[in-house]
Structure 1
Amino acid sequence: MEEVDVPYYFLCPISLEIMKDPVTVITGITYDRQSIERWIFSSKKKTCPVTKQELLDSDLIPNHTLRRLIQGWCIANASNGVERIPTPKPPVDKAQIIKLLEETKLPNLQMTSLQKLKLIALESDRNKRCMESAGAGDFLASIIKNNFMFEELNDRIDYTIASDEALSILYHLQISEDGLRGLIEKNGEFVQTLTTILQKGNYQSRSYATLLLKSIFEVLDPFHFIGLRRGTFREIVNVLRDQISLQVTKAALKSLIESCPWGRNRVKAVESGAVPLLIELVLETKEERVCEMMLVLLDQLCGCAEGRAELLGHGAGIAVVAKKIHRVSHVGTEKAVRILYSIAKFSATSSVLQEMLQVGVVSKLCFLLQVDCGLKTKERAKEILMLHSRVWINSPCIHLHLLSSYPSR
C-alpha cells in the first residue's frame, strides 16, 4: 500500500487524525466532532483548543463542504488503501430524547424505548448531556423507584426488567453533580430504592446501584447523610463482603467513607459488621489503593467506642493493622498508626497493651521513628510510645537497635 500524504486541513487540530465529521465552533476553527465533544463534555473545558477564546456556545455547526471534500479525497485514494468515510448521522437532539421518554411510559414500547436510550447514552458524552438536559435522569429514577417494588409479582416481572435497564442507563449517563442533587430532591427516598436493589437485585443491578450510591454520596449534603438508615449501611457492607468486582468494591468503600463522618453513621456501619469484615479484607487484599481505602474507613470506625471494641474483639485486629505499617504506602502507614493511636489512647487496658507489645506494634512504632514516614505519622507514633512508656520501655520484646529510638519525655 502506497503511503498517502493527507492534506493538513483534513486533520483535526486536537487529535491530528483525519476528520470524519468536521464541525466548526463559534471561533471559526473546525474540529472533528468526536474530538471537540470530548474536549467540551468530558474534559469540561470552555475554551477553543486553538485560539484559547472562551466558547460561549457549545453548538457545533456541521462543515458539510469540508466533509464532502474529505469523502471525495478518500474515494480518489481508495486504491492506496484509504477507507471511505461514511456520511455521519445527525446528532441526537432534545426533542428526540423527550419523544423516547414519552414512549417509555407505554408498556408495549417501554423496553424498546429504553434500549434506544441506552444506545444513545453510550454513543457520546454530548448525548449524555443532551439526555440530562431533557430530564432523562429524573425520569429514569422514577421508573426505578416506582417499578422495582413489583419485582416479586410474576405478572409484573417485565417491569422489573425495565427497572434494571433504567438503572443501567442512569449509571451510564454519568449525571453531573447538580443533576445528582436535583435527582435526590425530586425523587425522595431514592437512596432507599437503591438500598432495596442492593438487597434484592441480581449482581449486575447491585453493581449499578452501588456505583450510583457512590456518585450520590459524593454530592450529598450533611442533612441527607444524617438521615441514612441502618439498612443502607448493612447492604453496602454486604456488597463489600461479596467482592463483586474491584470497581464495585472501591465504590462501596467510598460510599462508607463519605457517609461515616456524619451523625451516628459510624455506629450504624459498625453494627452492620463492617469492622471484622475490613480486618479480613485488609489482610487479603493486594491492591494498594483498595487497602488504603479500607484503612481509611477502619480509622473512621475506630473513632467511636463501638468500632474500637469490634477491632479488639477480633483475634487478629491489632496484628493485621500493625502488619500494614510500612507495607502499603505512606497513606496506609498513616492510617494504620491513627488506628493504633485511637486504641492506645481510648481503649488501652493492660491486656491490650500486652497484645500490642507481643504482636510487634511497639517495635514497628520505634522503627517508624528511624525512617522517613511523614512528620504527622512520626509524631503520632512517638505520642503512642510515650503514652505507655512505663509498660513498654523495659520489655525484652523490643530489639536493642529499636529501643535506642524509644522517645523519652
Structure 2
Amino acid sequence: MEEIEVPQYFICPISLQIMRDPVTAITGITYDRESIEQWLFDNKNSTCPVSKQLLPRDSDLTPNHTLRRLIQAWCTQNAALGIVRIPTPKPPLHKIQVLKLLKDLHNHKSLVQLELLAAENERNKKCLLEAGVPRAMIIFIINCYRKAQIQKGLHEALSILQFVKIPKNEWPQLVKDHDQTLDSLTWILCHEEMENSIAVKSHVVLLLKKIINKGDTCHVLERLKPEFFEAMVKILRHGVTQQGTSAALHVLLSASSSTRNRIMMVEAGVVHEVVEIELGAPEKRVTELTLAILFHLCCCANGRAKFLSHEGAIAVVTERILKVSAAVDDRAVFVLAMVAKFSGTKVVLQEMLKMGSMAKLCMVVQADRAKYLKDKAMEVLKEHSEVWTDSLCFPHSSFRAYVRY
C-alpha cells in the first residue's frame, strides 16, 4: 500500500487515511464521517480542523457521493495491487426506525438491535437520544423491577444507557420523572443470580455514577437507603470490572457528603471494605478516593470505631503519607488527626506510635507541604507529645525539643 500513490483528495485531513464515507462540513472541507464525528462529539471540538472556522456540533455533514464513487472506482482499478474496494456506507439511521424498535421492546431482538446501533457510530447515538431511547431504557429497567424479574434484554438496556450520552442537565429531571430509578438499580445490584452478572452490575454502577455526579443531585442523595449501601459493599467486596470499582468509590464519596448517609455507610461496612481495597496497593486515583471516603466516615464516632477495629487501618493510612499525592496527604493527615483527637486512648496512641504515624507527621512538618497541613500535623504532635517524645519508636531526637517548646 505504501508504494501506491493515493490521490491527495482521497485522504481524510484528520485520519490521513483513504475516506470510506466522505462528508462535507459547512466550512466546505471534506472529511471521513467517522473522523469528523469523533472530532466533534467525542473530543468536543467546535471548530473545523482545517479552516479553524466555527463548526457547531449540530451542523449538517453532507455526504459527498461524487467523491465516494471516485474513491470506489479507483479502488476497483487498483484491485490487482491489493487495494480493497470501499463498500457503500449504510444510509443514515432515521428516527422512524428507532421508534419502530421501541414499540417492540418486549422482543429481545429489538434491544439487541438498538445496542448494535448505539455502538456503531456517533451519528446513531445522536439519533437514539433524539428518539427518547434513554428514557425508554429506564422505563424498561423499572418494569423489570416492578415485575421482580431479571428479563432478557436488561444487559442490553443498561449497555445502551452507557453508549448514549444523556446531557448533564437532563439527568436530574429524568430521575425525578421516574422516581423508582434508584430502587430499580439497587434491586439489580442485590440480585445474586443472573446472566452476565459482572457486566450487568458494572453497567449499573457506572450509571449510578452518572446520575449522582451530574446536575442537582441533593434529592437523589437524600433518598438512598441502607440496602443501597449494602449492595455497594458487596460490589467492592466481590469485585466487578476495574472501571466499575472506581465508579462505585465515586458514588460512595458523593454519598458520604451527607451525615445521614455516613451513618448508613458505616453500618453497611464501607470502612472495612475501603481499607481492604487500600491494603491491596491500588493505583493513585483509587487511593485518593478511598482516603477521601475514610476522611468523611471518620468524622463520626461510629466511623472512627470501625476504622480502629480494622488491624491494618492505621498502618495503611500512615504508609500512604508522602508517597501518593498531595490530596492523599491531606486526607490521611486529617484522618489520623481525628482519630488522635477524638478516639486517642492510650492503646490507640501507642498503636499510632508503633505504626510510625507520629514519625510520618513529623516528616510532614518538615516537608514541602501546605502550611495548614503542616500546622495540623504539628497540632497532633504537640497535643500528644507525652506519648512519643521519650519513645525509642520515634528517632527524631532533634525534633523532640522543637515540639516541646
TM-score by length of 1: 0.91
SS in 2 for 1:103: coil
Q: Deviations over 1:209-267 (max 9, x none)?
A: 11111111111521221221121111111101112221111011011011110241111
1:182 and 2:173 are equivalent in the alignment: yes
Cα drift, residue 136 of structure 1 = 0.3
User: Are 2:190 and 1:199 equivalent residues in the alignment?
Assistant: yes
User: Match for residue 377 of structure 1?
Assistant: 373
Q: Distance in 1 between matches of 2:301 and 2:172?
A: 33
Cα deviation, residue 165, structure 1: 2.5
Residue ranges of structure 1 left out of the alignment (5+ in a row) = none
Q: CA deviation at 1:401?
A: 5.5
Q: Indicate the residue corresponding to 2:157 in structure 1.
A: 166
Asked if the contact 1:195/1:232 (under 8 Å) is kept, the reply is yes
| 1:233 maps to 2:249 | no
SS of 1:369's equivalent in the other structure is: helix
Q: For residues 117 and 392 of structure 1, do their structure 2 counterparts lie closer, same or farther at Cα, with a shift above 3 Å needed?
A: same
Across the aligned residues of Structure 1 and Structure 2, the Cα RMSD in angstroms comes to 2.1
- AA of the residue aligned to 2:68: R
Q: Which runs of 5+ in 2 are unaligned?
A: none
Within-5 A mapping of 1:193-272: 193-200=184-191, 201=194, 202-219=197-214, 220-272=216-268
1:349 and 2:345 correspond = yes
Q: Which amino acid aligns with 1:328?
A: V
> 1:31 offset after TM fit, Å?
0.9
2:333–2:373 Cα contact (<8 Å) kept: yes
- Cα distance in 1 for partners of 2:316, 2:398 equals 21
Match of 1:362 in 2: 358
C-alpha displacement at 1:125, in angstroms? 2.2
Deviations 1:188-215 (A, max 9, x none): 1201110000001533221211111111
CA distance in 2, matches of 1:101, 1:15: 35
Match of 2:13 in 1: 13
Alpha-carbon distance in structure 1 between the residues aligned to 2:398 and 2:95: 69
- Pick closer, same or farther for the CA change 1:263–1:95 going to 2, 3 Å: farther
Aligned residues: 399
Task: State how far apart, in whole Å, the 1-side matches of 2:323 and 2:398 are.
Answer: 18
Structure 2 contact 199–241 (Cα < 8 Å) conserved: no
The secondary structure found in structure 2 opposite 1:327 is coil
What amino acid is the match of 2:141?
I
Structure 1 371/49 Cα, relative in aligned 2: closer, same or farther at 3 Å? Answer: same
Q: What residue number does 1:132 align with?
A: 129
Give the SS at the match of 2:153: helix
1:61 aligns with 2:56: no
Identity of aligned residues (%): 44
Q: Which contiguous aligned blocks of 4+ residues in structure 1 show a shift greater than 6 angstroms?
A: none
For 1:406 and 1:398, the matched residues in 2 are separated by 14
Query: Which residues of 2 match residues 283-294 of structure 1 at below 5 A?
Result: 283-294=279-290
